[in-house]
Chains A and B, each alone.
Chain A
Amino acid sequence: MAAEVAVATISAPHDYLPIIVQLIVVLAFVGGTILATHFLGPKRKSKAKLDPFECGIEIHGNARTPFSIKYFLVAILFVLFDVEIIFMYPWAVNFKENLSVGFEAGMNNFIQMSIFLGVVLLGFIYVIKKGVLKWD
């Protein structure tokens, strides 16, 4: 319990104890149900039962067929803009306080973010102009 000495903050690690309890409950439930069905249910294994089925249609081909590279582009763009949004949280939390310090400090903070967003927006315009998000 050494960590409690540090600071009397609003949030401390032990505030997250309910999440751990929930995690344990979820894992126990999932594991328990899987084990229970494994032991309780009857097992009848036949060719038709073990087949993967696609809405009753006969399966054809391999699941690992090559597909369009566009999905990769969308995925990597998602990661980039995701991280961009993440950077806005620590900025937004401090923004009001900086504004209350004075107009100068608030404007400064605003410009800092504007440069960042401007550069990323440039990339976004580039992406749109290149037609990456078009799907035909």
Chain B
Amino acid sequence: MLLYLFYILSAITVGCALLTIFSKNPVYSVLFVIATFFSIAGHFILLNAQFLAIVQVIVYAGAIMVLFLTVLMYLNLNKSVESSKPLLIKIAAMVSGGLLFLVLIASFKSGLSIAPTSVRGDAGLIKNLGNTLFTEYLFPFEATAVLFLSTMAGAITLTRKK
């Protein structure tokens, strides 16, 4: 049962992610990203990480995609022609995409090597998550506050009237 659910959810996730890339209208792209995020929340529930699922829905599908839609409305969407990018930008995009892929593979590899000891069925529940966050990952947590601060300052300096 769970396995079938996983296959269905995965099909929805991958399908929506592909539609995000292939749809011409950027607003449709954002809507498909929201659908993708919702199905990823479903994956979190299948992994018994309910808090992460709720966060996925509230923060990603809710807040961040609202931000994305707002940003989209600032762009000039009236002309639908997409200019072809210069070769240098294409190469730069390829390199950065490849680097991201490398990082992902590296993180998956290191994740697999510690998997037998650290992954438990209830690791994603809010209580265990909090315990780990406030002991082992305390410094990254406090650093997040600094990240928030710099984001606020950055957004305000970028948009302030001169």
Which residues from chain A sit less than 8 Å from chain B, CB to CB? 1-3, 6-7, 9, 11-14, 16, 20, 62, 64, 66-67, 69-73, 75-80, 82-84, 86-87, 89-91, 93-94, 109, 112, 115-120, 122-123, 126-127, 130, 132
What separation, in Å, do the CA atoms of A70 and B155 have in the docked complex?
Answer: 10
Cβ contacts under 8 Å, B148 to chain A: 80, 83-84, 119-120, 123
Given that A9-B121, A112-B138 are contacting pairs, would A126 and B126 also be in contact in the complex, using a CB cutoff of 8 Å? no
Cβ contacts under 8 Å, B122 to chain A: 6-7, 9
B28 at the interface (CB under 8 A from A): no
B45 at the interface (CB under 8 A from A): yes
Binds A, one of B59-67, B89-97, B98-106: B59-67
Cβ contacts under 8 Å, A2 to chain B: 2
B55 at the interface (CB under 8 A from A): yes
Dominant SS at the B interface?
A: helix
Contacts beyond the supplied A82-B63, A116-B141: 19 A-B pairs with Cβ under 8 Å? A3-B121, A6-B121, A9-B125, A72-B70, A73-B159, A75-B66, A76-B155, A83-B59, A84-B148, A87-B144, A90-B126, A90-B134, A93-B126, A112-B141, A115-B142, A116-B144, A117-B145, A120-B149, A127-B156
Cβ contacts under 8 Å, A86 to chain B: 55, 58-59
In the complex, what's the smallest C-beta–C-beta distance from A122 to chain B, in angstroms?
6
B23 at the interface (CB under 8 A from A): no
Cβ contacts under 8 Å, A62 to chain B: 78
Given that A7-B122, A87-B141 are contacting pairs, would A79 and B48 also be in contact in the complex, using a CB cutoff of 8 Å? no
Instruction: Say whether B127 contacts A7, CB under 8 Å.
Output: no
What separation, in Å, do the CA atoms of A123 and B154 have in the docked complex?
Answer: 11
Cβ contacts under 8 Å, A122 to chain B: 149
- Give the residue name and chain of the A residue nearest to B55 (CB): A86
Instruction: Say whether A72 contacts B45, CB under 8 Å.
Output: no
Cβ contacts under 8 Å, B156 to chain A: 73, 126-127, 130, 132
- Give the residue name and chain of the A residue nearest to B131 (CB): A94
B88 at the interface (CB under 8 A from A): no
Instruction: Say whether B149 contacts A79, CB under 8 Å.
Output: no
What separation, in Å, do the CA atoms of A79 and B125 have in the docked complex?
Answer: 23
What separation, in Å, do the CA atoms of A15 and B27 have in the docked complex?
Answer: 34
What separation, in Å, do the CA atoms of A64 and B74 have in the docked complex?
Answer: 9
Cβ contacts under 8 Å, A130 to chain B: 156, 160
- Neighbour of B51 across the interface among A14, A70, A90, A120, CB < 8 A: A90
Given that A1-B2, A11-B125 are contacting pairs, would A67 and B142 also be in contact in the complex, using a CB cutoff of 8 Å? no
